[in-house]
Amino acid sequence: MTIYLDGKFVSEDEAKVSVFDHGLLYGDGVFEGIRLYSGKIFRLEQHLNRLFASAKAIMLQIPMTKPALTEACCDTCARNKLSDGYIRLVVTRGVGYLGLNPFKCKNPTVFIIASTIELYPEDVYRKGLNLITAGTIRNSPAAMSPAIKSLNYLNNILAKIEAVNAGTVEALMLNADGYVAECTGDNVFVVRDGKLQTPPISAGSLNGITRGVVMELAAKLGVAVTEPNLTRYDVMTADECFLTGTAAEIVPVATLDGRPIGSGKPGVLTLKLTGEFRKLTRSEGTAIARG
């Protein structure tokens, strides 16, 4: 595997960062997870826009332009001969001293991994996922905004541990007010009376690219989407529920805390949106091969 690291393409063995990198010491950095379908990177511009917004929020100056990052992402995929895969683009604060001060780190570290990912077993997509509600509350937007896609994922990991301990793969996270925020690595939607609902970003969720794509697809299908605050009750009594994420794509949810949602099987609108999503991801994107 060939990795992009600070302007060079290196082998996996050579792709090493310093133990003094603040990305490692403090989780001080930002990242994106991006998909490649049929030789084209899906929604790369949106991912780069979010990366720059996350960096801005933590006063991190990304040392490359968006066109340069686009080229680096394309070249990393091409060098690994990928046509379908998953790209991890990471920008850390860089090497510093053993104190928090981020401004003592002179050069941010930039690396890109292009590989494949299978987040959930095939079964989950066919039968639906069994979701649990995590006891771990999502980070408060007033403390550490979940809208920043940072290298600090411990809040999510604590909830993920709960999911795994409960014998499943994903957990619903509530905010401090008891409203649904999102899952550990995915946004959440419910279907009620043929309409879609998803929590507002202000409830403590990432402004998911897939979430946005689903909203676009719903508009094309003439399906209304609103962003109200949702409670566990709203999820339990919904007709359908599904999760969205770049790696996960669209995941039907069968149960929440052992209670079937709707029929307890992937819902009609969920499956319709999944079909439309599949068509879209294969039809647009930034081609990795130039010329």
Query: Which amino acids are annotated catalytic?
Result: 149
State in angstroms the smallest separation of the CB of 271 from ligand PMP: 19
- Nearest alpha carbon to residue 156 among 179, 181, 120: 181
DSSP, residue by residue, 34-83? EEEETTEETTHHHHHHHHHHHHHHTT---SS-HHHHHHHHHHHHHHTT-S
Phi first, then psi, for residue 250 (nearest 5°) are -115, 120
Closer Cβ to ligand PMP, 113 or 209, answer by number: 209
| Sequence-ordered alpha helix ranges (H) in 146-291 | 154-165, 209-221, 232-236, 268-283
Residue 108 engages ligand PMP in binding (rule: CB under 6 A): no
Amino acid occupying residue 105: C
State in angstroms the smallest separation of the CB of 201 from ligand PMP: 10
Binding mask 165-184 for ligand PMP (x = CB under 6 A): -----------------x--
Residue 186 engages ligand PMP in binding (rule: CB under 6 A): yes
Token pair of 144, please?
A: 């550490």
Judged by CB under 6 A, the chain residues 198 through 257 that form the site for ligand PMP are 206, 208-211, 244-247
Among 136, 175, 187, 281, contact with ligand PMP (rule: CB under 6 A): 187
CA atoms of 112 and 268, how far apart (whole Å): 37
Judged by CB under 6 A, the chain residues 116 through 175 that form the site for ligand PMP are 156
State in angstroms the smallest separation of the CB of 205 from ligand PMP: 6
Judged by CB under 6 A, the chain residues 46 through 105 that form the site for ligand PMP are none
Phi first, then psi, for residue 174 (nearest 5°) are -100, 160
Q: How many CB atoms lie within 10 A of CB 127?
A: 14
Extract the runs of DSSP E, i.e. beta strands, from 61-146: 85-92, 109-115, 129-133
- The residue ranges that bind ligand PMP (CB under 6 A) are 33, 156, 182, 185-187, 206, 208-211, 244-247
